[in-house]
Structure formats: structure tokens, C-alpha cells
Amino acid sequence: MKSLLADAKCIVIKVGSSLVTNNGEGLDQMAIAAWAAQIAHLVRPANGDIQARQVVLVSSGAVAEGMQRLGWKKRPTAVNELQAAAAVGQMGLVQMYESCFAEHSLHTAQVLLTHDDLADRKRYLNARSTLRTLLDLGVIPIINENDTVVTDEIRFGDNDTLASLVANLIEADTLVILTDQAGLYSADPRKNPDAKFIQHARAGDEALEQMAGGAGSSVGTGGMLTKILAAKRAARSGAHTIIASGREKEVLIKLASGEVIGTHLHTEHGKILAKKQWMADHLRVSGQLKLDAGAVKVLRTDGKSLLPVGVIAVDGSFERGDVVACLDEQGREIARGLVNYSSAETARILRQPSSEIASILGYVDEAELIHRDNLILL
């Protein structure tokens, strides 16, 4: 059996605080440089031995680096102190990643998110568009939680959860969580010498959650339980998860080459099925679009995006990012999707070619009314 990363084209890699800061001693430049070199190889394979990938990096370490810079030995519990540490540490974290990737002629982009950004539909779509554009440009997005403005997340949240949400957001094939352990064990190997290593399991298996312990170190916030729950969440959009040691030499290149390292948690959800469940079960329809026969055929037969020219009527009040139902001329619902324009804007551009959007509205958010990636046929 080969690695779950071998055939992945879009990857989210999460690196934990203990690795980034060498257990709280300050940013580990050698380790970060090594990951940058491996990611550069994934994005631009030198000799064609592996396929080119798109990579998003979710990095912990801002609070831990801030603690080191401020001379704090113990992680504070006061929110204002945590936020101050995050603000100080973020400067060094981003600077380090930028310089390490620049060695390989790769640009990086800082993206600060909160869980709320991905719960709000409009911000969700904007974040998705930004990340996809960055990836298409060959840029490495460096994502961290926006610790300086959140409250509950900084105390109880973790970047394992954020990484899984990002995997959902961009529909990544595989989530790789690099940690200071070799993978998942039946018990904490630091306390129990009889702990058994788990190499293969199903993401979402309740038995895994029962086995996992609490948070592992004083530097970060995430133990193995958060990683198991992250894998469960990522699986909903069809992403596999690998939990592996970030200290393993060239771990990312080995995984991409097919070598099975760490714990591989596979998903049984296909991407289309997972997204269909998400769209159909968890979102309320805010409005309706009535389509002409040509648009219905294009959606059903050709699998293309919905353009304004194929819409003949708009019903309801909705904003960009809301879920709308697509109806045929007989009023039957044929699809649902995340709309790129408000109901007022849609009413102005319906029956018009996409080339006319700018002249009608004065701007263009997207050429499509609903992109095919945000559209589910029913």
C-alpha cells in the first residue's frame, strides 16, 4: 500500500508549535528551511520523479515565538497576554518563512484566518478565491489563526482544526499534520512503553477518539485528539489525513514518493458526495434562480458553471455567498450552489453575457453566477 500523499495534487500541511520553535526555544531556522526545501520540491519537482503539487502551509508558532522574544518561560493564560505574544511572534514567523522559501525562488503570502471567517459564507468564498488565486500563481500561502483578534479560539482552539477547515475550503486531497511524534499510538508512548503504533485507520473512527489523550506539551494547544478530530473533519470533504513526525528527514518527499510514514487516516467520502451532503444538509436556501432549457442542459450534461445569460428569473433576497436553488422552467429544483452576486445584482445581469457584467454593475466579482465547484446537482 502506498502513501495517501502519493496521488494528491492539492495538499494542506500543518506544522505544530513544538516543531517550529524547537520545543519553545525560538524559531528553528534549520527545521523551517528543511520544510521549505521539501515543499519547494513538491511544488517544482526538479527531476520529474514526482508530480507537481499545490501546497498550503498552516503554521503554528506565533504565540510560542512571541513568548521566547518576550522572555516568558510559561504560556500565559490571560487573553491579552496571549494576543500580545501572538502579535510579537507573528513578525518573526512570517519573516522566517519568507526568507526560507525565497532561497528556492518561491513567493509566500501571509493569510490570517479565524474559524469565524470560514463559517461566514461571504468571507468563506473570498478566502477560497484568494487561496486558489495564490496557488494558481505558484505562491505558498502561509496560514495562521488571527490570534490577535480572537478570544475563545486562542484559548481553546488549535491549528489542527484550522488546517482541517482549510482542507475543506480548498478541497484538498490530503491533509498532512507534522508533529513531534511518529504518528498515532494506542496510548501515549511517552508514558506507556506498551503503546502500539497505528499505521492505517479510517478517519472518523470513534475508537481513535477514545484512545487519544489530552494536549501533549506546554508550548502548543493541540494533542493527538485534536489531530484525530481534524482528520474526521477533513474527511467530510473527501480529504485523507497523514499524521507524521516533522523531524523525520525529508518526510514530505518520502510521502510524496509513496513511502508510508506515520499514521494514514483514509476517508471513505468521495469529494462529490461529501460536498453534496454539505450543501444539501447544512445550508438553507436563500433564494431561487429559474434557468432556461439551455442552462439546464449545460449544468446537467456538460458539468459547467452557471452563467448569468442562462438565468431568466430571480426570486428571494440573497447576498454573495448565500446558497440558492436552481430551478428549471417547470419549477423543479435541479441544483444548489453558492452564488457570486446578490439578488439585486443578479436581477440586473440576468440574460446578459458575462462580458457585459462590468459595464452593467461597474465591477466584476466572478465571470460565473455560480462556479461549477460551488454547484451541486440534485
Determine phi and psi for 366, rounding to 5 degrees.
-145, 155
What is the residue-level pLDDT of the chain in tens, covering all 378 positions? 899 999 999 999 999 888 988 877 778 999 999 999 999 999 998 766 678 899 999 998 888 889 989 999 888 888 889 889 999 999 999 999 999 999 999 999 999 987 667 766 678 778 888 999 999 999 999 998 887 777 664 443 678 888 998 998 898 999 999 998 899 888 777 788 888 899 999 998 888 887 775 444 444 334 788 899 899 988 988 899 999 999 999 999 999 999 999 999 999 877 765 556 556 544 468 899 999 999 999 999 998 999 999 999 999 999 998 889 999 999 999 999 889 999 999 999 999 999 999 999 999 989 999 998 888 888
SS3 label, residue 67 = helix
Give domain 10-272's CATH number out of 3.40.1160.10, 3.40.50.720, 3.30.390.10, 3.90.76.10.
Answer: 3.40.1160.10
Radius of gyration (Cα) for the chain, nearest Å? 22
- pLDDT score, position 40: 96
- Residue-level pLDDT at 218: 40
- Under CATH, domain 283-377 is a member of which superfamily? PUA domain (2.30.130.10)
End-to-end alpha carbon distance in the chain = 35
pTM of the entire predicted model: 0.74
The per-residue pLDDT for 273 is: 59
Over 292-349, what HEC string results?
CHHHHHHHHHHCCCECHHHEEEEEECCCCCCEEEEECCCCCEEEEEECCCCHHHHHHH
* DSSP-assigned states of every residue in 214-272: S---SSSS--HHHHHHHHHHHHTTT-EEEEEETTSTTHHHHHHTT---SEEEE----HH
Distance (Å, whole) CA 263 – CA 176? 10
What pLDDT was estimated at residue 325?
93
CA distance 139 to 154: 27
**Cross-strand bridge partners of residue 314:** 289
Residue 1 has a pLDDT of 82
Which ranges in the chain are annotated with CATH 3.40.1160.10?
10-272
Q: Where in the chain is the domain with CATH 2.30.130.10?
A: 283-377
Q: Judging by beta carbons within 10 Å of its beta carbon (0-12, 13-18, 19+), is residue 154 exposed, middle or buried? A: buried
User: What pLDDT does 217 receive?
Assistant: 41
The pLDDT of residue 280:
54
Quick one: pLDDT at residue 220?
39
**CA quadruple 63, 65, 67, 73: dihedral, nearest 10:** 120
Question: What confidence score (pLDDT) does residue 314 get?
Answer: 97
